[in-house]
């Protein structure tokens, strides 16, 4: 016996039920056994149907069981098996053509579904009509992996259908009233959702199909999604799909549907508000167009990395045509840097995005991105752009990042920023005008900037930094003068230095050069306790400040060890500060190799303005 | 002549043996900022994972990762967050094996580092935790 794959076992059961009902009065029990029913999708083995007819007033009872074996199409896994049992404690026939199954139970491994079913068949002018009402109460189900499971689900399903020239016209309503369902990756904590649709079922033609018209999914608190679809039943593929949703509430939509889909992205821990409209079209099983509109949407990262407020956006996309995206927002922040209102526009051409210019106001300046080009290739973004940062006041910048307050400006001009396969590289310089001098960062490159262990490499050049401003900003005993510095081959892993070649020294030229007693102590303590103690013991401790001719310190960081040197070498060590005039002071360093962690602790101890340097 | 041939053979033998000897010398305790940040991240996550190892929901795989062993031990509401935890932990573990091999100057040792760690995780596992032995799940 060959069983049509498009009909459920329930149909089979009903078939038996109807076929034997007329003859049932004469016998007390019917027992049917079938060896196996084969279909491309599964095999049902050892089918047994018992139909018991106890004496009145008890109702007939039904018990059906089988061993189901699903055929795995990929053949990668072993076929899964399941023992299935279906029973009705009471079968009634209140009217002609109306059958009821009371206290029904579908029982299988990991499925327990108590139900009641009312089933009516009629024949109107030669057209068969059916209607069914299925009530599920307290249903528990799960697949073997636990990735699709429900608990205490209560739902009502009603179905009405009639056949007209070989095509079934149907309408159905599913009302999910209570219970929780996990359908990986989605989790629905409660019921309150409804789905209704009508359509046609054509199983007899050469191209069997199921169409859904006027389908509507009503998601509790979120809103309604309307659509229509056509499924080809010969290969179970979605041929066409049109979805339209207006005024979806983003606040409940995000945790319900968006967060699970964005799990592995930067957008996986958001708080959203506002409304969205969404349209999508699938043609021949492939997306052909969509449009997402955001109205007054707020997006805030719960990890505090970014936020955008009052977003209005129109994001259309079509497979065959180029479309223009428009977006605006009133404000927000990126890594705590305040963003001003912006109006953005870009072209979206299938999997590529281009924009001539995007202007993002930041604090009192703006980041101008131009010649932006991005493409989604092999599941990865690749992009390049030009960036120009018009000057931002360092006072606001440092305050926004909770750094010590700095004066000056930061500006950048980067002719080319390229990002490809997790690698970000720049061609050009970032310029900081701070401490009355210049800092230039060049050859800036990053690997996996958003990953767990981002790597950064760069070269830094500092010229004529005002030591007075610098030492005041970092609470490091006062020094008057100017400082040059070069930090080459800088490598940061997870924002911590792992390697660099740094040289700092007083700038060439003539300008006042004075160093305070406190700064002398601090510098000395960087190189170890010995030098500082020597100053403290000598008569020099009575002077508040000294003149110097030159100062400088270098550190070559390798394997967590800083190899230190000064402006010149002496038999005992190296000179960090070379004095001039009277009283002249010379600060020597003795330790050439200092552990990086130890050095950081020393600097922190010094720059922590509340703590006096510890000098033994 | 025979002596020369013998010495060539000896050199060949030594070269052939050198590779496994070298990999045995991989320093698994090597530390770099990337490794320590991975270890920190895994340490923090372990607080959330421990209960799921104990309940049997999550088990240790033979390739040094973790996997869902019995999702039904996790309430439905938490199942997706456990999936995310597993994905994040495996991301860290894969990165850790790669970093340790690179820090040893031998990126090609990644597979050996992984299999050594796989054995270590099982050794360190508490009684009652599940792990993969060959193709099958075993309770420790």
Nearest-Cα residue of chain A relative to residue B88 = A264
Which CB contacts under 8 angstroms, 24+ apart, belong to A67-76? A68/A42, A68/A43, A68/A44, A68/A108, A69/A42, A69/A43, A69/A44, A69/A45, A70/A41, A70/A42, A71/A40, A71/A41, A71/A42, A71/A43
pLDDT score for A24:
45
The predicted structure's pLDDT at residue A615: 36
Q: Residue A529 domain-assigned?
A: yes
Q: How crowded is residue A462: how many other Cβ atoms within 10 Å of its Cβ?
A: 21
Decide: A324 and A347 in contact? Cβ < 8 Å.
yes
The answer as to whether A70 is a domain residue is no
- Which of A319, A348, A377 is the endpoint of a domain? A348
| Confidence class for position B15, pLDDT limits 50, 70, 90 | very low
Question: What residues contact residue A279 under an 8 Å CB cut-off, 6+ apart?
Answer: A242, A243, A244, A245, A289, A290, A291
What DSSP assignment string belongs to A537-604? HSGGGG-SEEEEEEEEEEEEEETTEEEEE-SEE-SSSEEEEEE-SSSB--EEE--SEEEHHHHHHHHH
**B91 vs A455: CB contact, 8 Å cut-off?**
no
How many domains does the structure of chain A reveal?
Answer: 2
Chain A contacts to B (CB-CB under 8 A): 142, 145-147, 149-151, 180-182, 184-187, 189, 260, 263-264, 268, 452-453, 455, 493-494, 496, 498
The angle at the Cα of A434, spanning A432 to A437, to the nearest 5 degrees, equals 95
Nearest to A396 by CA among A436, A364, A368, A438: A364
Closest Cα in chain A, distance from residue B5 (Å): 44
Answer yes or no: is A174 within a domain: no
A482 assigned to some structural domain = yes
Rounded CA-CA distance B134/B61 in Å is 9
> Between helices A517-526 and A596-607, what is the axis angle to 10°?
160
CA pair distance A376, A65, nearest whole angstrom? 52
CA distance B71 to chain A (A): 5
User: What pLDDT score was predicted for residue A71?
Assistant: 74
Which of B32, B41, B71 comes nearest A493 by C-beta? B32
Query: Hey, of A450, A452, A490, which one would you mutate to test binding to chain B, going by the most B CBs within 10 A of its CB?
Result: A452
CA distance B44 to chain A (A): 14
State the nearest Cα–Cα gap between A148 and chain B, in angstroms.
9
State the Cα–Cα distance between residues B100 and B115, nearest whole angstrom: 13
Q: Give contacts of B85 with chain A, Cβ < 8 Å.
A: none
Instruction: Fill in the DSSP letter of residue A2.
Output: B
Closest-CA distance of chain B to residue A134, Å: 25
Total residue length of chain B: 140
Are B77 and A181 inside 8 Å of each other by CB? Answer: no
Alpha-carbon gap, residue B36 to A609, rounded angstroms: 30
What b/e readout covers B31-47, taking b as 16+ CB neighbours within 10 angstroms? ebbbbebbeebbeeeee
What is the bridge-based pairing of β-strands B130-133 and B136-139? antiparallel
Measure in Å the smallest separation between the Cα of A332 and chain B Cα atoms.
Answer: 28
DSSP A78: P
Tokens in use for A98? 């109306």
Q: Determine which of A144, A146, A448 to mutate to test the interface with B (most B C-beta atoms within 10 Å).
A: A146
Q: Closest Cα to residue A184, out of B49, B74, B46?
A: B74
Measured between CA atoms, the residue of chain A closest to residue B76 is A182
Decide which of A348, A363, A387 is a domain's last residue. Answer: A348
Pull the structure tokens for residue A451: 């990953």
Q: How far apart are CA B98 and CA B34, in angstroms?
A: 11
Judged by CB atoms closer than 8 Å, whether chains meet at B77 and A187 is answered as yes
Question: What mean pLDDT is reported for chain B?
Answer: 83
Nearest Cα of chain B lies from the Cα of A103 at a distance, in angstroms, of: 27
Q: What is the DSSP secondary structure assignment for residue A476, as one 8-state letter?
A: -
Q: Which chain B positions have a beta carbon within 8 Å of A142's beta carbon? A: 72
> How remote is the C-alpha of A337 from its chain's centroid?
22
Contact A452 B68 (CB under 8 A): no
Taking CB atoms and an 8 Å cutoff, what residues of chain B touch A147? 71, 79
Q: What is the pLDDT of residue A406?
A: 86
Distance between A514 CA and the closest CA of chain B, angstroms: 38
Q: Cβ atoms within 10 A of the Cβ of A81, count? A: 13
**Residue pair A197/A191 in contact by the 8 Å Cβ criterion:** no
Are A142 and B32 within 8 A, CB to CB?
A: no
Contacts of B77 in chain A (CB under 8 A): 180, 182, 187, 189
Total beta-carbon pairs less than 8 A apart between chain A and chain B:
65
Separation of alpha carbons A276 and A269, rounded Å:
19
What whole-number distance in Å separates Cα of residue A190 and Cα of residue A181? Answer: 8
Is residue A532 within a helix (H) or strand (E), and if so which, with residue range? helix A529-537
Mutate to test the interface with A, among B80, B84, B85 (most CBs of A within 10 A): B80
ipTM over 0.85 threshold: no
Contact between chains at A182 and B80 (C-beta distance less than 8 A): yes
B140: which residues sit within 8 A by CB, 6+ positions away? Answer: B122, B125, B126, B127, B128, B129, B130, B131
Is residue A347 within 8 Å of residue A355, measured between CB atoms? yes
Q: What is the pLDDT of residues A580-605, one digit of tens each?
A: 887 778 888 888 888 888 888 888 87
What contacts B43, CB < 8 A, 6 or more positions away? none
CB contact under 8 A, A453 and B80: no
Strands A323-329 and A408-420, sheet pairing: unpaired
Of B68, B76, B84, which has the smallest distance from its Cβ to A180's Cβ? B76
Nearest CA in chain B to A142: B72
> Which of A244, A199, A246 shows the shortest CA–CA distance to A226?
A244
Q: CA A582 to CA A543: how far, in whole Å? A: 11
Q: Chain A: nearest CA to B33, how far in angstroms?
A: 6
Quote the minimal CA–CA distance from A90 to chain B in Å: 33
Q: Residue B33: its chain A contacts at CB < 8 A? A: 453, 493-494, 496, 498
Q: Does some domain include residue A551?
A: yes
Residue B93 tokens read as 């573990």
What b/e string do you get for A280-315 counting C-beta neighbours within 10 Å, with b at 16 or more? Answer: bbbeeeeebbbbebbeebbbbbeeeebbbbbbbbbb
Strand order in the sheet with B58-60: B66-68, B58-60, B130-133, B136-139
Domain termination residue (choose one: A296, A318, A348): A348
Domain that holds residue A582: 472-607
Give the B-side interface with A, CB within 8 Å: 32-34, 37-38, 41, 68, 70-72, 74, 76-77, 79-80, 83-84, 87, 91-92, 95, 99
Contact across the interface for A146 and B68, Cβ inside 8 Å: yes
Asked if the structure places residue A355 within a domain, the reply is no
- Which residues on A lie below 8 Å from B83 (Cβ)? 184-185, 263
Of B32, B77, B83, which has the smallest distance from its Cβ to A180's Cβ?
A: B77
Q: pLDDT by residue (tens digit) across B50-63?
A: 999 999 999 999 99
Structural domain contains residue A194: no
Q: Contact A255/A231 with Cβ under 8 angstroms?
A: no
Kindly write down the DSSP assignment for every residue of A244-304, as one continuous string.
Answer: EEEEEEHHHHIIIIIHHHTTTSTTSSEEEEEEEEEEEEEETTEEEEEEEEEEEEEEEETTS
> Residue A241: inside a domain, yes or no?
yes
The three-state secondary structure class of B12 is helix
- A453 → closest Cβ in B38, B79, B87: B38
* Closest alpha carbon to A306 in A337, A327, A264, A268: A337
Chain A residues closer than 8 Å to B27 by CB? none
- Closest among A600, A533, A526 to A566, alpha carbons compared: A526
**Spatial distance between the Cα atoms of A566 and A217, rounded to a whole number of angstroms:** 74
The pLDDT score that the predictor gives to residue A147 is: 87
**Calpha distance A355→A344 (Å, rounded):** 9
- Does an H or E element contain B22, and which? helix B2-24
Closest residue of chain B to A152, computed from CA coordinates: B76
DSSP calls for A140-159:
EEE-TTSSEEEEEEEEEEEE
Contact A498 B33 (CB under 8 A): yes
Burial B100-129 (b: 16+ CB within 10 A, else e): bbbbbebeebbebbbebbbeebbeeeeeeb
Phi/psi for A159 (5° steps) reads -140, 130
| Gap from B120 CA to chain A (nearest CA, Å) | 23
CA–CA separation, A343 and A334 (whole Å): 17
Q: Which residues of chain A have pLDDT under 50?
A: 1-14, 17-19, 21-24, 76, 609-616
Rounded to a whole number of angstroms, the distance from the CA of A453 to the nearest CA of chain B is 5
Among chain A residues, CA nearest to B84:
A263
Contacts of residue B76 in chain A, CB cutoff 8 Å?
A: 149-151, 180-182, 187
In angstroms, the CA A365 to CA A355 distance is 20
CB contact under 8 A, A494 and B87: no
Which residues in chain A are contacts of B34 at CB distance < 8 A?
Answer: 453, 455, 493-494
């Amino acid at each position: 016996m060959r069983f049509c794959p498009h009909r459920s076992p329930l149909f089979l059961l009903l078939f038996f039920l109807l076929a034997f009902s007329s003859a049932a009065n004469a016998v007390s029990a019917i027992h049917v056994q079938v060896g196996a029913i084969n279909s491309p999708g599964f095999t049902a083995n050892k089918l047994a149907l018992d139909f018991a007819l106890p004496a009145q007033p008890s109702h007939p009872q039904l018990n059906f069981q089988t061993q189901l074996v699903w055929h795995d199409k990929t053949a990668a896994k072993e076929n899964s098996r399941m023992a299935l049992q279906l029973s009705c404690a009471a079968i009634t026939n209140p009217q002609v053509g109306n059958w009821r199954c009371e206290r029904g139970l579908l029982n299988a491994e990991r499925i327990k579904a108590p139900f009641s079913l009312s089933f009516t068949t009629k024949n109107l002018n030669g057209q068969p009509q059916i209607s069914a009402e299925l009530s599920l109460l307290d249903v528990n189900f799960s697949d073997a992996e636990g990735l699709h499971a429900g608990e205490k689900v209560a739902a009502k399903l009603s179905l009405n259908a009639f056949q007209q020239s070989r095509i079934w016209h149907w309408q159905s309503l599913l009302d999910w009233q209570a219970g929780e369902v996990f359908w990986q990756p989605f989790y629905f904590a409660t019921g309150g959702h409804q789905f209704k649709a009508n359509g046609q079922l054509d199983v007899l033609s050469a191209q069997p199909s199921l169409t859904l018209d006027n389908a509507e999914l009503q998601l509790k608190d979120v809103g309604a999604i309307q659509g229509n679809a056509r499924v080809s039943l010969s290969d179970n593929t979605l041929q066409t799909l049109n979805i339209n949703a207006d005024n979806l509430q983003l606040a409940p939509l995000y945790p319900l549907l968006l967060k699970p889909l964005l799990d592995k992205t930067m957008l996986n821990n958001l708080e959203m508000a506002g409304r969205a409209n969404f349209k999508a079209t699938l043609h021949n099983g492939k997306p052909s167009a969509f449009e997402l509109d955001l109205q007054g949407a707020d997006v805030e990262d719960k990890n505090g990395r970014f936020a955008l407020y009052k977003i209005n956006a129109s994001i259309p996309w079509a497979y065959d045509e180029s479309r223009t995206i428009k977006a605006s927002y009133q404000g927000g922040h990126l890594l705590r840097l305040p963003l001003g209102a912006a109006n953005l526009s870009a072209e979206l051409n299938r999997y590529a995005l281009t924009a001539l210019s995007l202007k993002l106001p930041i604090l009192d300046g703006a980041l101008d991105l131009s010649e932006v080009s991005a493409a989604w290739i092999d599941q990865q973004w690749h992009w390049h752009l030009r960036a120009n940062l018009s000057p931002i006041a360092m006072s606001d910048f440092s305050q926004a990042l909770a750094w010590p307050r700095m004066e000056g400006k930061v500006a950048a001009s980067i002719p080319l920023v390229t990002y490809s396969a997790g690698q970000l590289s720049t061609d050009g310089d970032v310029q900081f005008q701070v401490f009355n001098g210049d800092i230039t960062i060049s050859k800036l490159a990053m690997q996996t900037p958003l990953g767990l262990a981002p790597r950064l490499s760069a070269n830094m050049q500092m010229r004529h930094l005002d030591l007075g401003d610098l030492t005041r900003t970092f609470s490091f005993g006062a020094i008057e003068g100017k400082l040059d510095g070069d930090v080459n081959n800088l490598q940061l892993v997870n924002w911590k230095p792992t390697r660099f070649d740094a040289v700092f020294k007083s700038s060439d030229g003539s300008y006042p050069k004075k160093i305070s007693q406190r700064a002398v102590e601090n510098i000395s303590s960087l190189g170890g306790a010995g030098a500082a103690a020597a100053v403290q013991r000598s008569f020099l401790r009575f002077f508040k400040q000294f003149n110097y001719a030159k100062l400088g310190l270098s550190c070559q960081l390798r394997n967590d060890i800083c190899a230190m040197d000064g402006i010149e070498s002496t038999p005992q060590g190296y000179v960090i500060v070379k004095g001039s005039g009277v009283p002249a002071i010379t600060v020597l360093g003795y330790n050439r190799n200092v552990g990086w962690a130890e050095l950081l602790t020393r600097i922190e101890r010094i720059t922590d303005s509340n703590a006096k340097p510890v000098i033994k | 002549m025979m002596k020369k041939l013998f010495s060539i053979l000896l050199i060949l033998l030594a070269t052939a043996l050198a590779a496994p000897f070298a990999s045995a010398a991989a320093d698994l305790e090597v530390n770099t900022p990337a490794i320590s940040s991975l270890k920190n991240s895994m340490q923090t996550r372990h607080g959330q994972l421990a209960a799921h190892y104990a309940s049997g929901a999550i088990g240790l795989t033979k390739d040094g990762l973790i996997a869902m062993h019995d999702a039904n031990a996790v309430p439905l509401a938490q199942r997706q967050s456990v999936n995310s935890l597993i994905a994040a932990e495996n991301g860290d573990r894969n990165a850790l094996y790669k970093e340790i091999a690179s820090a040893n100057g031998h990126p090609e040792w990644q597979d050996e580092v992984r299999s050594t760690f796989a054995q270590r995780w099982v050794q360190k596992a508490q009684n009652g935790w599940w792990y993969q032995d060959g193709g099958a799940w075993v309770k420790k």
